[in-house]
C-alpha cells in the first residue's frame, strides 16, 4: 500500500538509524535496563542504573544478590518488587542454564523470568540489530493513530507492523518509540510539528 510505504520512508528518513535512550555498556546491562523499563520511563531507569551496576557489576553478582538489597536500588522504579524478584531469577537462570552467557535468541531469552516477547525483541534489536518489531505503549499508540493496526494487543499489533514494513524493523521500532515519546504524545500530541500529519486521520489529531 502506497501510504504505508510513505510512512515507512518518512520514519527512516527523519530518524537516522535511531537507538534506545537507555544507557548501557554491555549485554548484561542492556537486559537489566530493558527489564526495568517495562511500564517505566527510560529517564527513570537511567537514574537508577549507575548505582545498581556499581553494586552488581556482573550477571553473577546479580544472581547472588539479596532481594531486599536489590529492591533498595530500584525502589523508585514502577513494580520494583516484582522486577527485583525477576532480575535475580533471570540472572540465576543465565548462570545455571546458559553458562553465565545471556542467550541471543528469542526462545531462550523468553525462557528467562521477567523476559516477555517485547523485552526479548528489544534486547535483540539493540544488541544484534535483529529485524524485529517490539511494541511498547508508544509504538502501540502510533500504530493505531496512523491506522497501521486495529489489533487489541501489542503482540497482534507487532504482527501487523511486521507484515506491513517487512524490513528495517529495528530502526522502525526505535523511530516509532521516539516519535511517540516526543511528537505523537498520548496527551497533547504535537500535530503542528508532525512530519506525518498529512497522512494522519486520527480522532486525536489537533487541527
Catalytic (active site) residue 61: no
Computed on alpha carbons and rounded to an integer, the radius of gyration of the chain in Å comes to: 18
Q: How many CB atoms lie within 10 A of CB 42?
A: 17
Catalytic-role residue among 23, 97, 118, 205: 118
Buried b (16+ CB within 10 A) or exposed e, 11-32: bbeebeebebbbebeebbbbbb
Distances (CA, A) of 14 to 78, 149, 163, 171: 31, 21, 22, 11
- Cβ–Cβ < 8 Å for 64, 94: no
Residue 192 CA from chain centroid, whole number: 27
Q: Is 136 among the catalytic positions? A: yes
Calpha distance 99→69 (Å, rounded): 25
Residue positions counted in the chain: 207
By the 8 A CB rule, do 169 and 131 touch?
Answer: yes
Which entry of 136, 152, 205, 206 is annotated as an active-site residue?
136
**Active site amino acids:** 118, 136
Amino acid at each position: 500500500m502506497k501510504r504505508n510505504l510513505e510512512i515507512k520512508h518518512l520514519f527512516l528518513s527523519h530518524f537516522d538509524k535511531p537507538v534506545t535512550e537507555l544507557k548501557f555498556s554491555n549485554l548484561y546491562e542492556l537486559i537489566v535496563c530493558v527489564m526495568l523499563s517495562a511500564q517505566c520511563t527510560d529517564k527513570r531507569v537511567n537514574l537508577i542504573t549507575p548505582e545498581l551496576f556499581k553494586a552488581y557489576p556482573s550477571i553473577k553478582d546479580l544472581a547472588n544478590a539479596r532481594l531486599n538489597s536489590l529492591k533498595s536500588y530500584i525502589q523508585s522504579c514502577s513494580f520494583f518488587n516484582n522486577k527485583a524478584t525477576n532480575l535475580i531469577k533471570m540472572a540465576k537462570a543465565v548462570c545455571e542454564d546458559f553458562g553465565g552467557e545471556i542467550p541471543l535468541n528469542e526462545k531462550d531469552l523468553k525462557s528467562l523470568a521477567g523476559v516477555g516477547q517485547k523485552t526479548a525483541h528489544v534486547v535483540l534489536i539493540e544488541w544484534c540489530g535483529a529485524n524485529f518489531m517490539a511494541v511498547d505503549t508508544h509504538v502501540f499508540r502510533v500504530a493505531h493513530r496512523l491506522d497501521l493496526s486495529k489489533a487489541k494487543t501489542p503482540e497482534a499489533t507487532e504482527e501487523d507492523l511486521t507484515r506491513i514494513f517487512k524490513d528495517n524493523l529495528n530502526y522502525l521500532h526505535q523511530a516509532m518509540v521516539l516519535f511517540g515519546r516526543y511528537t505523537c504524545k498520548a496527551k497533547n500530541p504535537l500535530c503542528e510539528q508532525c512530519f506525518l500529519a498529512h497522512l494522519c486521520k486520527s480522532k486525536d489529531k489537533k487541527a
